[in-house]
Structure formats: structure tokens, C-alpha cells
Amino acid sequence: MFSDWSFGRLNLDRYDLSMQDAPISASSEDIVLPAMDQAQDELAPVEPFAPLTAAEGDATQIISSLPQSAESNTGGPGMDALGLVILVLLVGSAMLLFQVMRLRDQLRVSRQLKGAAESEAGQLRVLIAQSEKAAERRARHRVTTLMQRSQQAERERDALEQSNTKLRRLVQVDELTGVANVRELGHALDTELRRAQRATRPVSLIICDLDDFKRFNRQYGHDRGDDLLKRTAHLAQSVFRRGGDLIGRIAGDRFAIVTPDTDYRSALRQADVMRQRIWESAIPFEDAGEDSRVTVSLGVTSLLPDKPVKPYQVFERAILALQLAKQRGGNLVRGDRPHRTASVPATEQPSQPATGGAIIGRFKGRPTGAGGSG
């Protein structure tokens, strides 16, 4: 009945299409449809087709299982039309099955790709979590390091400030007594002289010297001498308490007090108060004579400058007045009368005044412990 099957296509070259005198040029529909109608009227039992292969087979396997010759089936043209219909259905089913298998393979591949993608996504999430943890550890370590460095910088800054404070104290403050040193006192006096000249106001300088201090050191030792210097500085601070007053140690046992806006008489009164405070303290000193106590001598000078004055000139005048008090037995206050310039001589001169250079050298010497002039 059928012949020449090849990969789902039917070779109908030898098929007789002359039924009902159909024209040779008729289309396939004109041939197949009448044949199907005739097959319905003349349908007769036919032998079953060979069983289909497994679902995984393709269309070629299905078609190759059909009969290979027209002589294996009989029944006329109706059976041929029915066979053609069944053949078309089988071919369509085979193609549909083939598409289903392709879709199944694509779905399997898609699932595999999806599984691989999910696996990669999981690995990526793990890597991201690890990276976040590592970044957090690095950030925490960085913050900790910065905090430690900041604390170290603060400690170093505090240490530097303490060093600067100590340095300032070394530059400006006498280490033993805690009052200003000779350098700071010189700067302060120069500043007050300039201000007094601009404002036409008086400025006074008082120099205080312990009587027979060298003998006191030899009798009681340097430790007692240092204690006496500290006590003297403390008493001076209790007497000269105004905001502008500055007390400084300019030699071993010698102190100076700069008192701005203080005239001559006021400076003499303050100096005498200082002398009385030392006397009233009654610090024992057996070799001091009849009084057997520590005493001080003070020299006072006061200026109302109308032209620039050097600090050493003022120191010179105060020291000359101090020497006069020393020559008269100590425990005294002596000074020169107020004058408008530093070139006016003192009213009272010592019997053998020291030269200006010697005086400057004495007050410019750096204080060292309890040593100094007596």
C-alpha cells in the first residue's frame, strides 16, 4: 500500500490518484478530502500497526516501524486514505513528542543553570559576608589604633605642656623661692618704666638684702639658709600684694620689688613694713649681735621719668641706697629723693661707693642656693 518512507516524508510518486476521475492538476486537498470521505463509507478492519518505540525515540524511529510495502496491506483506496490520515497524525505526534523532549531537555538545562546560579549566589553571599566581617574587623582595628594614637598624642601634648611650663618657670621663676628671677624682673622693670614715661606716673624699685647672711650660712648650714630665703620671699609676697607688684630674687640673699604707680613716700613706707615683718618674725641668729635675730636692710628709689631710662640705672640707684643702709649698721631703710630723670645723683652717697660696673655685676649674677653677698 505504501512505499518509500524517509524521515517523516511520504513519497507518493507511485500512489494512484485517479479515483473519481480527479484531474491530474488537482491540489492535495482535492485529493485527500474525497479520499477521507470514501474511507469513512468503506471502513473495514485492518491489521494493526506495529507498536511504537519508547517515548525517548524520535520521529525517524516511529516512521521506520511502519510497513515498507504496499503488498502487506489490502483493502482498497479507502484504507489508503485512512492510512494517510493516521500517518499524518503519527508524524504530528512524533513531532510534538520531539518538541516535548526538547522542552524537557531545555527545562533540565534551565534547572541545572538555575542550580548553578543559586550555588554561585550562595558562594557570593558567603564571600560578601566574609568581606563584610573582614572590613568590620579592619575598621574596628583602625578605630582602635586611631584612638590609641589620639590618646598617645594627648599624653605627649600634656607632657610637652608640662615641659613648657617647667621651661617657663626656669626662664621666669627662681627655682628655690618661687618668685621671679632676675631676667623676668628686668623685663618687668623695663616695661613699667616705658609705661610710666607714657602715662607720666611714678614707678619705684625696692631692694631687700639679708644682713650678715654669709655668717648665718656658716653657723646654721645651707639648708637653714635656703629655708630663710624661702621665708623672706613669702613675707615679701604678704607685704607687696597689689596686682602690679612683682617680687624677684636677683642674687643669693637679695630680693627686688617693682612697684608701679607708687611714689617715693609710699615706697619708703612699704619697705619699712617689710623690715618690721622680718624683725617681728624673730628668726634666731646668735651671731647677729645684741638682737640675736635675722634683720634686713632695704634701699629705695623712685622715678617719674620724662625720657627713656634703662633698668640697670634704676637698679644702680637702689643698690647705692642699700649700701648706705648697710654702712649704718643694717636693719634700716634708705633711699634717694624722687627725681624726674635717672641722671640725677642720689641725695645720700655711701662713703666708698662702688663703681657702676661692680653694682651691675652684682645684681645681674644668677642666684645659686643660699650663697651671695653678706
Q: Which residue has the higher pLDDT, 141 or 6?
A: 141
For residue 75, with 0-12 CB atoms within 10 Å meaning exposed, 13-18 middle and 19 or more buried, which class applies?
middle
The pLDDT of residue 321 is above 80: yes
pLDDT at 65: 55
Q: What are the backbone angles phi and psi of residue 124, rounded to the nearest 5°? A: -65, -40
Q: Classify each residue of 124-145 as buried b or exposed e, where b means 16 or more C-beta atoms within 10 Å of its C-beta.
A: eeeeeeeeeeeeeeeeeeeeee
Helices 182-199 and 77-172, packing angle to 10 deg? 80
C-alpha cell at 35: 479520499
What percentage of the chain has pLDDT greater than the value 70? Answer: 68
DSSP 19: G
β-pairing, 203-210 with 9-10?
unpaired
pLDDT at 25: 42
**CA-CA distance, 281 to 232, in Å (whole number)?**
10
The pLDDT of residue 122 is above 80: yes
DSSP 87: H
Q: How many residues does the chain have?
A: 374
pTM: 0.53
Q: Which residues pair with 363 in a beta bridge?
A: none
Alpha helices (H) in the chain, listed in sequence order:
28-41, 59-64, 77-172, 182-199, 213-220, 222-239, 264-281, 311-327, 356-364
C-alpha cell at 315: 637698679
The pLDDT of residue 309 is above 60: yes
Measured between its terminal Cα atoms, the distance across the chain in Å is 157
Q: Average pLDDT for residues 17-28, to the nearest whole number?
A: 42
Tell me if 363 sits within 8 A of 250, measured CB to CB: yes
* pLDDT category of residue 307 using cuts at 50, 70 and 90: confident
Tell me if 211 sits within 8 A of 295, measured CB to CB: yes
Which of 61-75, 159-173, 248-262, 355-369 has maximum average pLDDT? Answer: 248-262
DSSP 65: T
Give all domains of the chain, ordered by start, each with its CATH number: 5-109 (no CATH), 177-364 (3.30.70.270)
For residue 252, with 0-12 CB atoms within 10 Å meaning exposed, 13-18 middle and 19 or more buried, which class applies?
buried
Q: Provide the CA 64 distance to its chain's centre, in angstroms.
A: 87
